[in-house]
Amino acid sequence: MPKNSEGKSSRTEALAQATEGDKFVYVHPEGAGYGQHAKGDVLTAEMTELDLTDGTEVTLLEYDADSGWPLIEWTDATGINRITTIHPDDMYLFQARN
């Protein structure tokens, strides 16, 4: 993960300017899941299975009509499809899939 603000900014722009169907990969600098990152603490074993894990491919579905936050779809470790909104401050954690 880039350690400078330029790399963070370009990834933030990538998700903010994406269109429906674009694919991204969740990449956390410390390997934490998105739920763990958002909570700021370790999750239970059960919640870890359901968390968006480092390296997971996600698909942008749309932008929430009320908040404008991106809605993404992904599959958890148990094989269940999930839909999650991404806080704008966390968009840098998602790298465009080429």
Q: How confident is the model at residue 8 (pLDDT cuts 50, 70, 90)?
A: low
> Residue 16 pLDDT > 80, yes or no?
no
Do residues 59 and 74 lie in contact, with contact meaning Cβ atoms separated by under 8 Å?
yes
Q: How confident is the model at residue 12 (pLDDT cuts 50, 70, 90)?
A: low
Q: Which domain holds residue 64?
A: 5-96
Q: Number of folded domains in the chain?
A: 1
Kindly state the average pLDDT of the residues 51-55: 94
pLDDT, the chain, mean: 86
Q: Which two tokens stand for residue 45?
A: 């074993």
* E-assigned strand segments in the chain: 23-26, 57-63, 70-75, 81-85, 94-96
| pTM of the model as a whole | 0.81
Do residues 50 and 22 lie in contact, with contact meaning Cβ atoms separated by under 8 Å?
no
> Residue 91 pLDDT > 60, yes or no?
yes
> Which of 19, 27, 26, 17 minimizes the C-alpha distance to 84?
26
Q: What is the CA radius of gyration of the chain?
A: 13
- CATH code of the domain in which 76 resides: 2.30.30
**What confidence score (pLDDT) does residue 97 get?**
82
